[in-house]
Amino acid sequence: MNITFDDVSFKYIERKILDHASFSITDLDKVGIVGVNGTGKTTMLKLIMGYEKPNSGAIILSGGMRINYLMQDPIFDENKDLLSIVMEESTKEYPVIEYEAKSILTKMGFSDLSVTTKHFSGGQRKRLALAKVLVTPCDILILDEPTNHLDNELILWLEKYLIKWKKGLFMVTHDRYFLQRVCNKMMELDFGKIYLYDANYDSFLALKAERLEEEEKASKHLKQILKSEKEWMGRGVEARRTKNKARIERFKALSEIEFNEQKSMEFKSLETRLGKKLISMKHASKAFNDHILFQDFSFDLAKDDIIGVVGDNGAGKSTLFRILMGLDQLSSGELIKGETLRIGYFSQNLELIDPEIRVVDYIKDTKNIIDTLEGKMDAETLLENFLFSRDLQYTKVKMLSGGEKRRLQLVKVLIDNPNVLLFDEPTNDLDLYTLEILENYLMDFKGPILVVSHDRYFLDKICNKLFIFKNGYIEESLLSFSEYLSKNDSNTIKEEAIKKEKPKANRMPSALRRELEEAEGRMPKIEERIREIEKELEECQTDYKKLMELSLEKDNLSMEYDSLMERYFELLEIKESYKI
């Protein structure tokens, strides 16, 4: 099964998305798609699905190919209940098994499957859509930001699910751990061009650096030739008549070359005075009726704190931020804030931006002249520094991609030169380039930061402390986020003990080698038995007792497989730590 782009070009208004792009992927590939926000990652997925049509070229799909597509903002029939929505693509040839549908809906946090989506949030719709695409049989999964709106447990579960996924995967995500562990190919969109790398994320970074270096050398060489030819063309008509036509034609061709200059983006805000008293809470509690979000929580914010605020969806993380901003009140306890605080609050709610306002006016509504380390700057120049071209600044916000809207929010937060930052899910929809710039800015920021995020890589890189929402309390930890997740995994504790006992011969212990070999041998047998059970389930639809026995066996085997797969990857990591 193949998806092939044959010399495809696509332009959206004046924005070039694809420029004579040609590539092919198969149902054996797991491809991660990256590129700066606004380069057209989501548009390319829509082209594959036929929601958009190319201006030229052809998109060819193998006959009979079944594709499941997870959109960024899914829409559902509000008259249908959750189970009906997940089951609606079921056919006789490719059935959706009802108990599997119920199981994955429960996994996604839905307890009442008879409700409709009428009052669902964007996050609930995304999780419902994810359940549907995962349970419906297909040849290729196309996922647009699948980890958005998932809590930590679900992100880890989805990562393991996609690692063992046997069909094709075409995925846009900013989750770097996901890209590294799940994908075997990387695709980059850059200035309308497609670059396909047969590599995981880490290897892709090295290969991209080599490509950019070569392109820079080639660009410099072409510019030198163009300069020379331009001087020759400027010597006058008589001089040119003595030369051959081929050289004139070469000059014309060189003049039409577009040199793709790599623009850089930096955040440079002024440092504002921060007094000794920052933010303190004393025995703070917050509850809605009988539902306790947190209780008896006390902390004193230090100037060098970069605190990752983590926990399940609905645990109260955003509510804590609203309390710190004065938008909500504690149920009991005390909140004390210093007089010099200038809090920059980055909300995860994109709906706060009026879609009909122009990009530049969204910034001018706050400030037209902005103080920066480089001096005073008008809104247009500042937006250019954040990679918003002059043309793009005068379009309406609704024309921006999701990631560009997030970048615009960042501009709005930073123009007031805050000395304390509250960032609620800042990494959602941001491209990897902007993420790295944001991370560097936060680590250099001269003041405390609290950040809600489910992005493991992001939290590991910037945070020196965690606030963990758990069972109605907020725990404080100095572990990194990955260390915290590992601490809650009993298998990891065993792994750490084994690493400490690593022999001088630098060889993996024989007991662990045998365990790895047994896992490699056992997993295919489980997969084969599950396939046999699925066939038996189809053949005994009227034998209720047999159905229950087979379903129970399949569930037990699936649980064993998941546990075995998890241990298998742990053993592989241990193996890599030895120089074998």
Asked if 72 and 149 count as a contact pair (C-beta separation under 8 A), the reply is no
Which pLDDT belongs to residue 159?
Answer: 92
Domains 2-204 and 279-484 belong to one CATH topology? yes
Other CB atoms closer than 10 Å to residue 322's CB: what's the count? 17
- 505 secondary structure, DSSP code: T
Residue 490 has a CB neighbour count (10 Å cut-off) of 8
According to the model, what pLDDT value does residue 336 have? 94
List the chain domain ranges.
2-204, 279-484, 491-577
pTM, entire model: 0.68
Burial class (CB in 10 A: 0-12, 13-18, 19+), 406: buried
pLDDT at 332: 95
Mean pLDDT value across the chain: 83
Instruction: Report the interhelical angle of 510-539 vs 544-577 (nearest 10°).
Output: 160
CB atoms within 10 A of CB 543: 12
For residue range 168-208, list pLDDT tens digits in order.
999 999 888 889 999 999 999 987 899 999 998 888 888 88
Which pLDDT score is estimated for 498? 46
Kind of pairing, strands 375-378 and 279-288?
Answer: unpaired
Res 534: pLDDT:
82
Query: Is 397:357 a contact under the CB 8 Å cutoff?
Result: yes
Q: Determine the Cα–Cα distance for residues 463 and 310; give it in Å rounded to an integer.
A: 11
Region 2-204: CATH code: 3.40.50.300
Q: What is the pLDDT of residue 446?
A: 83
The beta strand positions in 289-428, using DSSP E, are 291-300, 306-310, 332-337, 343-346, 369-372, 375-378, 420-424
Q: Are 53 and 46 in contact (CB under 8 A)?
A: no
Beta carbons within 8 Å of 396's beta carbon, 6+ residues apart: 355, 356, 357, 358, 359
Below-50 pLDDT ranges, the chain: 240, 259-262, 490-493, 496-505, 579-580
pLDDT of residue 466: 95
Decide: 170 and 33 in contact? Cβ < 8 Å. yes
Angstrom distance (rounded) from CA 560 to CA 548: 18
Closest CA to 524 of 274, 192, 221, 164: 164
pLDDT at residue 507, as a whole number: 65
What span, in angstroms and rounded, lies between the C-alpha atoms of 272 and 287? 35
DSSP for residue 399: G
> Taking a C-beta distance cutoff of 8 angstroms, is the pair 303, 327 a contact?
no
Identify the CATH class of 279-484: alpha beta
The DSSP secondary-structure symbol of 396 reads B
End-to-end CA distance of the chain: 37
